[in-house]
Structure 1
Amino acid sequence: MSHLDNERLKQVLFLLIIAFLSIVLFRELYVLFPGFLGAVTFYVLSRNYMFRLVENRKWKKSWAATLIMVLSFLIILLPIGMLINMLTAKVSYAITHSSDLIKGLQSINAQLQESMGVNLMTPDRLSKLQEYITNVLPAFVGATFNTLTAVAIMYFILYFMLVNAREMEEALYEYIPLKDENVELLGKEMKNMVVSNAIGIPLIALIQGVISLVGYLIFGVPEPVFWFVVTCFTAMLPIIGAAAVYVPMGIYLLSSGQTWQGIAVLAYGFGVVGTADNLFRMLLARKIGDVHPLITIFGVIVGVNLLGFIGLIFGPLLISLLIVLMKIYSNEYLVKKREVKVVRTAHSKEKKMKQTGE
């Protein structure tokens, strides 16, 4: 075995040991993964403000990090937490009054069957729905607790990332086994996809929720603020989006005899809310970048299964990161391989031409 082969074998064994330890640590620390993703997201969004406070205004690192964390909590997490708390309260009420909920659905189904001849709730479906409510909805409350835990972990990690920002970035720049231009590309793409996923998706959902709230208030929908919260969350779902709220709501109003309100809610939903979604998505795409619908669909599926509710945001982020890494891999290795192939082809042609000339 040559010296070069021996060195390659040592390198492969060393990489296998690193991969093995990484897998073991990830499995044991998986519970911290949502918090870590959240810390990375907030770090990308706030790093420039941290550098301005520390390097331009000469603040202490601990004070600057604390200020950024407090502001992010008050501006972003506190309003979201209040919305989730409102939704959780309604879910808890639904759990404790599941029998009343089933009776209400039976009454709506009877009205639909009488007025439209549609039977949506057979006894078998009702029993399955009741079983689903008693089994799944408590898990939703548990997911809220898990989200609070993830937030606490996120801020714990974020503090040290902000305080050691320059040192951390320099270490990553040095130890990531990529060419300098690909490390810079990774940082740029990471920032773009964080802004697109962590700001673009929730912002569009909030806009749809506000526009829907206006309609709920105009058409006299009961508990409009609660349905505004539900609309904000369903608007983050791919394909269905806010229609998951205003379509059943319109059908319910029609079945309960409120014909003009039901028609108005459906027309407003499809005409105004749906148009606003497309319009603002197009406008925001120019400013902060857009997320491909397929990335959103598969990202939500993967994210919710892996991370729970918080996966609505971080699922698309993970898929976007995978695509960026594939792009960098292509730039790092495949381009070099193609260049070598081109050089070899040129040498081969040159050799054949010399042989032919001889």
Structure 2
Amino acid sequence: MVTAVFALMPLIGTSAIYIPMALYYLVVQDFLRVAALLILGTIFLNIFPENILRPALAKAGAAIHPAVTLLAFAAPIFVIGVMGVVVGPALYGFILAAYRTRLSIMKEEAGVVAKPEAQKKNPTESSQGRSLLGRRAGGFISWLSRGRL
């Protein structure tokens, strides 16, 4: 449980748990446990979650190519160092959201150009028929557009 809490901290991470344990076993001269903690802790608590598990989970949610996801998580660490652990995924998420927003806008514009009569029927709906505003605000704007003011 304590390791899970420390795993949420980007700079400290799980090594704040297994390195002090390894130091304790080094003091009591149990070298087999020191080696096991350092090797297994590094593999299963640092390398696997950060380089394999996290990009796989991000890819599943983002529906984007795994190479791009891996590059977004690994490249910032090499380029700007430790801050890349925080900046990389945040920048990746921002760029992905901006790209999807732009793609949505382009699809919306293509739908409006292709069907101008749909825009005249109800100015508060998108080209897919979804309401862009709440029900009351949409009704009020439709009422205003019919010239009832």
Structure-1-length-normalised TM-score: 0.21
Structure-2-length-normalised TM-score: 0.42
More helix by share: 1
Greater Cα radius of gyration, structure 1 or 2: 1
